[in-house]
Amino acid sequence: MSDCSALFAPLQQGLARLEQERLRRRHRVVDSATGRFALVEGRQLLNFCANDYLGLATAPALAGAAQVALSRYGSGSGASHLVCGHLRPHQTLAERLAQFLGLPAALTFATGYLANLAVPTALLGRGDAVFADRLNHASLNDGCLLSRADFVRYPHNDLDALARRLEASSARVRLIAVDAVFSMDGDLAPLDRLLALAERYDAWLYLDDAHGFGVLGQGRGSLAHWGIASPRIIYMATLGKAAGSAGAVVAGDPVLIEWLQNRARSYIYTTAAPPAVAATTLAALDLIEADSWRREQLRQHIERLRSGLAGTCYRLMDSTTPIQPILLPDNATALALAEALFERGLWVAAIRPPTVPTPRLRITLSAAHEAADIDRLLEALKDLQ
């Protein structure tokens, strides 16, 4: 066998460096559903890491819909959408999502990552420009970079800085790309003012609503929350978070959607999601519409956590969403606090660079939690301060 050590040495050194900086990542295997609880290493933990904001990932109606679709349509879709993988549940879901969002047309994707690759690459090329908030999700940044357009970033939610960059641009096609709810800070982008800028500079406005869909605007997401509409808005939401399923939707003008269907490589060149996943999402939409109590429960939990931490040494951010990060001075402190909570049966993710600029505990709340769960977390945090 030939010597491969020259190939592996830089990887081993890189991993050692990550270890030293407390940045090496490992999986924890979960032996149960990830709902209110998660079974990890033989221990039942209260789960404050999931993006299952409405508690739908463990709702029996979703699993039931998946089982019915599995027996009817089989496990795999068999091909990409444009070959023979576009089954009835995919079509019904796209139509239902468009209607639910109040937008004329929609296209579903196997994951949010793929949707974020699709839109910038299908709309932009060399000589064009994309304007992106510094705290946008990594998948959106990847899509912007892959498009080969000028990648112009502006400081978080600084719309004066964005306006200056738009003013200075002579790009042919301009796209403003933002997270509607920032995934690691939990705050909102000011969509009304962003739309005004998009109109003034004749740009597309692309919104990643991964964390707003199902939660804001009576479940219809950030467009409903802000009460805005325009053909230049391209709306994206992921379906693996509040919807408790998997995949993503891009919705907007029918011409745009048909263009994506014809031009978006991450739509065309990948196997369509299993039809049972589309059926699961359809069942989720029923509950997102019908169960407003889930959002009310969530609102109460957010308030309970925030008022419970007021007056402690913990620094919360300006977030009204189920994403409630606590900023910490360094990676070691973030890890130690997450570890101490884990020992007490509470699972909270420590998020470190490069995912975020500042280390933090990212607490996520869910309608699946009970008030007593929030109290347990508060007690442990106060004990550890």
Q: List the binding residues for pyridoxal 5'-phosphate.
A: 112-113, 183, 211, 238
Strands (E), the chain: 37-40, 43-47, 105-109, 129-133, 150-154, 174-179, 204-208, 233-238, 248-252, 315-316, 323-327, 346-347, 349-351, 360-364
What residue numbers does the annotated binding site for substrate cover? 25, 137, 355
- Interaction of residue 238 with ligand PMP, rule CB under 6 A: yes
Following CA atoms 224, 128, 153, 213 in sequence, which dihedral angle do they give, to the nearest 10 degrees?
20
Angstrom distance (rounded) from CA 27 to CA 53: 22
Nearer to ligand PMP, 183 or 297 (CB): 183
Q: Among 52, 133, 185, 208, which residue interacts with ligand PMP (rule: CB under 6 A)?
A: 208
Smallest gap from Cβ 187 to ligand PMP, in A, equals: 13
Identity of the residue, 108 or 139, whose beta carbon is nearer to ligand PMP in the bound complex: 139
Nearer to ligand PMP, 191 or 210 (CB): 210
Contact range with ligand PMP by CB under 6 A, out of 93-101, 107-115, 276-284, 325-333:
107-115
> How many Cα atoms sit within 13 Å of 203 on the Cβ side?
29
Pairing between strand 346-347 and 43-47? Answer: parallel
Tell me which of 47, 108, 116, 261 binds ligand PMP, using CB under 6 A: 116
Query: Is residue 185 part of the contact set for ligand PMP (CB under 6 A)?
Result: no
Q: Is the peptide bond before 120 cis (omega within 30 degrees of 0)?
A: no
CB of 206 to ligand PMP, least distance (A): 11
The residues with which 153 forms a beta bridge, in sequence order, are 132
Q: In this structure, how many other beta carbons lie within 10 angstroms of the beta carbon of residue 82?
A: 13
Among 34, 58, 111, 121, the residue binding ligand PMP under the rule CB under 6 A is 111
Q: What are the Cα distances from residue 286, in Å, to 248, 264, 280, 380?
A: 17, 29, 10, 36
Contact call for residues 112 and 210 (beta carbons, < 8 A): yes
| Active-site residue, 183 included | yes
Please report, for residues 14, 26, 355, the alpha-carbon distance to residue 11 in angstroms, rounded to integers and kept in the order given.
5, 16, 20
C-alpha torsion 75→76→81→83, nearest 10: -120
Is 241 a residue of the active site? yes
Catalytic residue among 77, 139, 183, 319, which? 183
Q: Which listed range, 17-25, 106-114, 221-229, 285-293, lies at the site for ligand PMP (CB under 6 A)?
A: 106-114
DSSP 142-183: HHHHHTTSEEEEE-TT-HHHHHHHHHH---SSEEEEEESB-T
Provide the CA 224 distance to its chain's centre, in angstroms: 18
Amino acid, single-letter form, for residue 208: D
Residues 6+ apart with CB under 8 A from 351: 184, 325, 334, 359, 360, 361, 362
**Binding pattern to ligand PMP, positions 57-96, x when CB under 6 A?**
----------------------------------------
Q: Which residue in 86, 211, 301, 369 is the catalytic one?
A: 211
Window 5 to 64, contacts with ligand PMP (CB under 6 A) = none
Residue closer to ligand PMP (CB basis): 116 or 121: 116
> Is residue 319 near ligand PMP by the rule CB under 6 A?
no
Of all residues in this chain, which one has the CB nearest to ligand PMP in the complex?
Answer: 112
Count, in order, helices (H) and strands (E) of the chain. 14, 14
Q: Should residue 183 be labelled a site residue for ligand PMP when binding is judged by CB under 6 A? A: yes
244 to 263: interface string for ligand PMP, x by CB under 6 A: ----x---------------
113 binds ligand PMP (CB under 6 A): yes
Encoded tokens for 132? 């992106």
# residues contacting ligand PMP (CB under 6 A): 13
Segment near ligand PMP (CB under 6 A); pick from 85-93, 112-120, 251-259, 342-350: 112-120
Taking the complex as a whole, how short is the minimal distance between the CB of residue 326 and ligand PMP, in angstroms? 19
Q: 177, 128 in Cβ contact below 8 A?
A: no
Report the residue number, 57 or 381, with the smaller CB distance to ligand PMP: 57
> Is there binding between residue 177 and ligand PMP (CB under 6 A)?
no
Catalytic residues: 183, 211, 241
Query: Applying CB under 6 A, which residues contact ligand PMP?
Result: 111-113, 116, 137, 139, 179, 183, 208, 210, 238, 240, 248
